Chain A
Amino acid sequence: MRRDIFQAIADPTRRAILTLIALQAMTPNAIADNFHTTRQAVSKHLRILTECNLVKQEQQGREIYYSLEIEKMKEIDKWLEQFRKIWEARFNQLDNLLLTMKKRKK
């Protein structure tokens, strides 16, 4: 199933997890210590983030460490930037149209 990346980051806990592991790679237990929620709930959030490729896992000894997939986060910014550009292009066209309308009125 293709996960909706924006749905993934719409959740406040998942956003907090991303902020935490942006600083350093962490184990699920260490992440869970930061939240008043069950470890299972944190595991579920981590699974969703992994399915969206927003985080990556690395085995170190017996522990699994989660860290941020920076390239994927950049994709989101790029996506939003494109959306912004569409509006910019639209409004520039509207500027020209308004100018034409003003001239016609005079």
Chain B
Amino acid sequence: MNDNLLFDFTVDKAAKTVYITREFDADLSLVWDAFTKKELLDQWIAPKPMTAKTKYQDFKVGGKRFYAMISPEGVERWAIQEYTSITPKTNFKMYNAFADKDENPELPGSDWDHTFSEQNGTTTVSITIYNESLERMERILDGFTKGMKMSLHNLENLLATLSQRQ
């Protein structure tokens, strides 16, 4: 990561809201595409070693994106996003909820608001995530850390096997 790029992450527990601001060394249209096109989203949204897979996406107000985060072991965690407001290259809002593989949402979900702006070739994205339940946020994190811990464990085993062979 370029050290000059701003990254701000704050959690207001009382307001059950997470505020994230990040700068990117790219022009607005590229960053906008990276946040709104499934083939690009799938390439960065899942923190390694997780991967993301979008089954379908209809980027318009009322449209949806149905996608899964997949752990290295192949466990799929589905979620569905409904776009509630779109102002091209400026702002989009969506409602995000976990779902089963048949697209049935598990409520409550969270409200996401993304704002984009560009200055001298640097694009700033501000994300606000409002969770009706902070317990839900805890569950999101649980899923991630479990996935990461499992793959670290796999790596340890692999390294152990490799060093025994030597």
* Chain A residues at the B interface, C-beta cutoff of 8 Å: 4, 6-7, 9-10, 12, 15, 79-80, 82-84, 86-99, 101-102, 105
Contact = CB atoms under 8 A, between A and B. Distances in A.
B48 A93 contact: yes
A55 to B, nearest CB: 17
A98 B138 contact: no
Interface residues of chain A: helix, strand, loop or mixed (majority)? helix
B24 A10 contact: no
Contact of B44 (A10, A79, A97): A97
A93 B26 contact: no
A82 B140 CA distance: 11
Interface stretch (B7-15, B72-80, B87-95, B108-116): B7-15
A84 B24 contact: no
A79 B134 contact: no
Contact of A7 (B9, B44, B134, B145): B134
Contacts of B134: 4, 6-7, 10
A97 B31 CA distance: 10
A82 B13 CA distance: 15
A98 B47 contact: no
Contacts of A12: 14
A84 B22 CA distance: 12
A90 B24 contact: no
B13 A89 contact: no
B123 to A, nearest CB: 9
Contacts of A15: 14
A93 B47 contact: yes
A87 B20 contact: yes
Given A89-B47, A93-B44, A6 B26 contact: no
B24 A98 contact: yes
A88 B22 CA distance: 9
A36 B26 CA distance: 53
Given A82-B144, A88-B7, A91-B22, 11 more contacts: A4-B133, A4-B138, A7-B135, A15-B14, A83-B18, A84-B9, A93-B47, A94-B44, A98-B30, A102-B26, A105-B30
Interface string B105-140: 000000000000000000000000000011101100
Contacts of A95: 1-2, 5, 24-25
